[in-house]
Amino acid sequence: MTDYSHLISEQLYIDGWVDGTSEREATTVNPFNDEPIATIRQASQADVDKAYDVAKQNQPAWAELPPKDRAAVMSKAADFIEENFDAIVALIQAESGSTIAKASIETGLAIGSLRESAQFPTRITGSIHPSNTPGKTNFVFREPLGVVGVISPWNFPFALSMRSVAPALACGNSVVLKPASDTPLVGGLLLGTIFEAAGLPEGVLGIVVGAGSEIGDHFVENEVPSLISFTGSTPVGQGVGVKAVGGRRMKKVALELGGNAPLVVLDDADLDQAVGAATLGKFLHQGQICMAVNRIIVQAEVYDEFVEKFTERVRGLTFGDQLDHSTIVGPLINDQQVESVTAKIDQARAEGARELLSGPIEGRVIAPHLFADVTPDMELFREEIFGPVVGIVKADNEEHALELANDTEFGLSSAVYTRDLARGVRFARRIEAGMTHVNDITVNDEAHVMFGGEKNSGLGRFNGQWAIDAFTTEHWVGVAPGNAQFPF
């Protein structure tokens, strides 16, 4: 396996590399075999305060740099990743339980975020507006927010940290990042190594690794950041939103939360294509993706054929050690996730779903499990699974399929399969989601196209121009000639 030791730091990144001051120490491990990777002294609340204070002090100078200088840092960071691609992939595999395919995709997504963000410094524009006051001109400037706090998840830790950190920096902000406790290296400290090598001035990016119970609330409630960008579960994200808006200083929030993605197979779909999309969209990274296929909704006319084809396709998936290049389904991230997914399997059986395929549960590896004849009252239909388990639902007709697709509190990603593209677009536009793909999988992310959800799947949009809008604010500056006659 490719050596990644040169990418690992066991220190926090606050105005350079420093030891944490918490009494806690945590070891990050390979989730398949618990092999230790690094031991990190955790951050205390005082470390969080220091990181924010340092970021605030260094932000103005960073924002005042010529756009080409900030763009150059983004480009050099992308170059560093490309030069160390195999080592980064190996580290993602080891720490997050990712197969080589998933880790490679994730690394490519991070590069894409940086390449797109490198354009932002010269794409930030303002506007000029006429005034009803004679001789006055109204300028609207787009300015950095100041300091941005980022909380990233464990499932796509490298890509999803970079998706917020890179555009926020490119727009002239400084950033403090808190990665998930299960993936402090690839979701956090690795970015310090990358941006340090890219020439980012010290203090512009801070990275604090710590338990949510010790620093989580404090990270959000600190008065320095102007925006908190959070990616994770809906319940936690709702709490983050309340704390960010309800504190002494109201903050903006960008929340990318849970999903319950439907993949709808209409009666004229290419079933082989739909089966392939359902397999990849469900079992990539063991289903631990907010956009993963969570419900497969199939029109009655092709239901039995789809069920047969899908079961045979999934039956051939390999599972086990993620470091084995032949493995498709690796381990879940931790024991809590294993317990959650196992409970959903047991509940599906208890509720009467027809079990099509099952397999062993060994350690943190759960073999693919398929259930048919799932109904809207079942937990498998209503809840985000976040594991290699999926239910298939029969729809009476197209309208019933749409009703089933929208019967959820979530609205992140979705997909529909049909040979009639016009029909697909009509159907897609009626799905209550931020993203819908016709004849493609639900798992999609392109750095220049908006990403985000509706309903309880979040607030705001990431990527491209939408990221510029999210990580900047507008400032009206009215300029009058100074010769007004005021009435009093």
Identify the sign of the CA torsion 242, 449, 465, 203. positive
* pLDDT confidence of residue 307: 98
Distance CA 88, CA 138 (A): 48
Angle at 220 between CA 412 and CA 447, to 5 degrees: 40
Distance CA 430, CA 10 (A): 49
Q: Is 256 a catalytic residue?
A: yes
> Which of these is catalytic: 256, 312, 355, 409?
256
Best CA proximity match to 294, nearest among 176, 209, 374: 374
CA 151 to chain centre: 10
**pLDDT tens digits, residue range 241-253?**
999 988 888 999 9
Distance CA 164, CA 412 (A): 18
Beta bridge partners, 253, equal 228
CA 304 to chain centre: 35
**Interval 462-478 mean pLDDT:** 97
* pLDDT confidence of residue 249: 87
**pLDDT tens digits, residue range 333-371?**
999 999 999 999 999 999 999 999 999 999 999 999 999
Task: State which H helix or E strand residue 2 sits in.
Answer: none
* pLDDT confidence of residue 484: 85
**pLDDT tens digits, residue range 212-266?**
999 999 999 999 999 999 999 999 999 999 999 888 889 999 999 999 999 999 9
**pLDDT tens digits, residue range 39-51?**
999 999 999 999 9
* pLDDT confidence of residue 274: 98
* pLDDT confidence of residue 119: 98
**pLDDT tens digits, residue range 15-72?**
999 999 999 999 999 999 999 999 999 999 999 999 999 999 999 999 999 999 999 9
Q: All domains of the chain, ordered by start, with CATH?
A: 5-257+457-476 (3.40.605.10), 261-438 (3.40.309.10)
Best CA proximity match to 295, nearest among 350, 374, 358, 235: 374
Distance CA 385, CA 404 (A): 17
* pLDDT confidence of residue 48: 98
Best CA proximity match to 20, nearest among 247, 256, 181: 181
What is the pLDDT confidence band of residue 456, given thresholds at 50, 70 and 90? very high
Burial of 432 (0-12, 13-18, 19+ CB in 10 A): middle
What is the pLDDT confidence band of residue 165, given thresholds at 50, 70 and 90? very high
**Is pLDDT at 128 greater than 80 in this prediction?**
yes
Distance CA 381, CA 371 (A): 11
Q: Is 470 helix (H, G, I), strand (E, B) or coil?
A: helix
CA 30 to chain centre: 21
* pLDDT confidence of residue 159: 98
Q: Is 413 helix (H, G, I), strand (E, B) or coil?
A: strand
Question: Long-range CB contacts (< 8 A, 24+ apart) of 418-424?
Answer: 418/266, 418/268, 418/269, 419/268, 419/269, 419/270, 420/268, 423/266, 423/268, 424/266
Identify the sign of the CA torsion 434, 242, 156, 117. positive
**pTM of the model as a whole:** 0.96
Best CA proximity match to 82, nearest among 117, 108, 119: 108
Distance CA 63, CA 348 (A): 53
**Is pLDDT at 393 greater than 90 in this prediction?**
yes
**Is pLDDT at 1 greater than 80 in this prediction?**
no
Mean pLDDT of the chain: 97
Beta-carbon count within 10 A of 270 CB:
14
